[in-house]
Structure 1
Amino acid sequence: MGSLKVTDTFTESISVLANEPSVALYLLQEHVRRSLPELAQHQAAMQPIYTAEYDRSAGKKLMDGSVYFRSVEGLLKQAISIRDHMNASAQGHR
């Protein structure tokens, strides 16, 4: 019966140690240390693809936005024309 108690106590101690937060942090640090070089290589390999896709996407958005720029330009020209007309009318009434 004594050896069963020692085994249970030992098992409980191992379980407590295995679930200790510092052990978890150590294991996490080890995992990151082992996998980080590979992740960095993947990121470096993907960077040109991402950059090219981002550039293409940004250029397309600018081209799509040109419709709005032309619309704003037209509205500004109308506003200037109305302002000039109002200024001319105001000077004519003096």
Structure 2
Amino acid sequence: MSDIIHDPDLQNKARRATEILSENLHFVANEPSLAFYRIQEHVRKSVPPMIEKRIQVQKLQKDLQGHYYDVEYALGAVNSIKNSEKSLNNIQEQLKSALFLSQQIKYEHTRRNNTKKDSMYKRLSAHLTTTLDLPELPEAIRDTANRVESMMQSARHSNIY
């Protein structure tokens, strides 16, 4: 048995095994404090970036909520425009009617002004031509009435301008 103890290779292996065993016992004995150290180290490294990301996510959530309200408001506006189609068509029809009536009023006004511009000589010549049955006379009366009318108009224009 003394041969086994004096074997240097065996002694190295035994010493090494006892060192490993001692190291493992030391590790197992100190494992909870090492675990807490590792946890503390992990928290110290990872929590600040996580807090920063959380703040960014909250800001993005707030911005997204604002955009959501904007889109909801715009959608409501579009729907109200769709609902106002009947009113807009009614307004369009009333505008068409108003334009038509305006054109009629302008036409009547122009027609009345044209009738007022006809001189009494033209009206007289028209009246005489219908009442008299002289074939040469109506042409002569019209010609005279036209001359008198043109003289009256040139006199009016020279007084106006």
After TM superposition, the score normalised by the length of structure 2 is 0.33
1:75 aligns with 2:56: yes
Paired AA for residue 39 in structure 1: I
Q: Distance in 1 between matches of 2:65 and 2:42?
A: 34
Runs of 4+ in 1 over 6 A off after TM superposition: none
Query: How many equivalent residue pairs?
Result: 66
The C-alpha deviation readout for 1:57-89, integer Å capped at 9, x for no partner, is 321430343222221111111111111111111
Unaligned runs of 5+ in 2: 1-8, 76-161
Q: Which has the higher contact order (CA 8 A, sep 6+)?
A: 2
Structure with larger Rg: 2
Which residues in structure 2 correspond to 1:55-70 (within 5 Å)?
55-70=36-51
CA RMSD between the two structures: 2.7
Could you give the per-residue CA deviations for residues 9-59 of structure 1, whole angstroms, max 9, x where no partner exists? xxxxxxxxxxxxxxxxxxx8x578523244212221233335423422321
Structure 1 runs not aligned, ≥5 long = 1-27
Paired AA for residue 73 in structure 1: R
- In 1: Cα distance, 2:51 partner to 2:37 partner: 22
